[in-house]
A and B are shown apart, each in its own frame.
Chain A
Amino acid sequence: RRTGEALRAFHTAIRSSPGNTRNQAMKEQAQGTMLKVLTSFKSSEIEQAVNSLDRNGVDLLMKYIYKGFEKPTENSSAILLQWHEKALAVGGLGCIVRVLTARKTV
């Protein structure tokens, strides 16, 4: 049941990501929420979560992963690296390229 909750929170965070805003406060809040959701996953559940996303979702997830790398907290990098590995397997290098070229950041 806990898995189901984490997955639901994950999809909600992805869906409600502020798309086209310059509002820095809004962005930071979304980043914080996403990081909380990502770190709440057990390692074994990550792959399933990534596979449940569509192409745009994987691109968005990768953007949040790199954002998370930018501001590391005590244990965040370790779990983010695991998310990165799974997201890379699905999105390929193109997904990372789009993080670098994106003009609208998360």
Chain B
Amino acid sequence: MAYHSFLLEPISCHAWNKDRTQIALCPNNHEVHIYRKDGAKWSKVHELKEHNGQVTGIDWAPESNRLVTCGTDRNAYVWTLKGNVWKPTLVILRINRAARCVKWSPKENKFAVGSGSRLISICYFEQENDWWVCKHIKKPIRSTVLSLDWHPNNVLLAAGSCDFKCRIFSAYIKEVEERPSPTPWGSKMPFGELMFESSSSCGWVHSICFSASGSRVAWVSHDSTLCLADAGKKMAVASLCTETLPLLAVTFITENSLVAAGHDCCPMLFTYDESQGALTFGGKLDVPKQSSQRGLTARERFQNLDKKASSDTANATLDTLHKNSISQISVLKGGKDKCSQFCTTGMDGGMSIWDVKSLESALKDLKIK
């Protein structure tokens, strides 16, 4: 487990380049900073300053090497590297509230932006006018869209919203692609078509993720639940009420295993059993250091009793690697079907890289299916 403390403030969002040598992150302000790995160190190589509000989402297209950012200033920019300078192109999203999340489609010819305007802007490049245009998906979204994830077919898009629901829409743009072939989520996919909608949970949907095959989608909500819809089982939804504080980020690491993290500051494993249609908790992935237990002096014991009404020796500091909530997880190696390495960033300004094989050998009872 490699942990690097970038900032003393939260990392609002991050994205990696294709070969994982550079990370773009927002240091809780209006800018995007790009760091490059230099041996064991990280050096800041670029500062992208264009947004007038906090940058809420960053995505780095691996093949075309373009960045897309979105912010509370209701704008999105597509950044292209020209020589050694990142040049921004403004994309008019036509929204009147903050943008909250952005994702390139798998083929990188479109990107989707979720916003507080209760809609999703699907943006694509119009060759003849040489600029980015967007179409809106509105119905039946009733509140802010907090997170998005594309299906591998480049057309279907999953959206998690503050109206407590997870939905899958078609974001088919005839100007840039062929008609999609049928999927387990449905065969007719005109733009804006609602292919799936979950029944209401009781919490804002913070994060949503398609499995590598696209036939499963998982999401985490603010009511401390994790849910999974399986298109292979007629979109049956399995849900798990966790014993943890709400989770803020989730990703598949195999077709049956998920890693999620949130306000408990540590990533956790969850397993989906297809035959039973059930989700189970597989354990915490943070192996705590063996903290030295020193005895308390009588004075300290009395102080504890006075301050906390208890004289126990429990540490007031967190044992976990991250010292504050984890807000984002990204897959680094292996893809969502055979993930061998993933990354977490959080409100403690730190970034941690987790190696799946090391976790499997360190945590004896860990079973990744």
Contact = CB atoms under 8 A, between A and B. Distances in A.
B298 to A, nearest CB: 28
B8 interface: no
A98 B201 CA distance: 10
Interface stretch (A27-35, A40-48, A87-95): A87-95
A55 interface: yes
A59 B243 CA distance: 10
Contact of A93 (B222, B223, B245): B245
Interface string B230-262: 000000000001111110000000000000000
Interface string B180-221: 000000000000000000001011000000000000000000
A102 B202 CA distance: 6
Contacts of B244: 92-94
Contact of B223 (A55, A56, A92, A101): A101
Nearest to B245: A93
Given A55-B241, A59-B241, A94 B224 contact: yes
Contacts of B225: 98
A97 B203 CA distance: 10
Contacts of B200: 103
Contacts of A59: 241
Nearest to A91: B243
A97 B246 CA distance: 8
Instruction: Place the interface of chain B in its size category.
Output: 10 to 19
Nearest to B224: A94
Contacts of B246: 94, 97
Chain B interface SS verdict (over half):
loop
Nearest to A100: B223
Contacts of A56: 241
B203 A94 contact: no
A78 B103 CA distance: 51
A102 B223 contact: yes
Interface in A54-99: 55-56, 59, 91-95, 97-98
A95 B202 contact: no
Nearest to A101: B223
A98 B202 contact: yes
Contacts of B222: 97, 101
B203 to A, nearest CB: 5
B243 A101 contact: no
Interface string B109-131: 00000000000000000000000
16 contacts: A56-B241, A91-B243, A92-B244, A93-B244, A94-B242, A94-B244, A94-B245, A95-B241, A95-B243, A97-B222, A97-B224, A98-B223, A101-B202, A101-B203, A101-B223, A101-B224
Interface of B: 200, 202-203, 222-225, 241-246
Given A95-B224, A97-B245, 10 more contacts: A93-B245, A94-B243, A94-B246, A95-B241, A98-B202, A98-B224, A101-B202, A101-B203, A101-B223, A102-B223
Closest 8 A/B residue pairs (Cβ): A92-B243, A94-B224, A101-B223, A97-B224, A101-B202, A94-B242, A94-B243, A101-B203
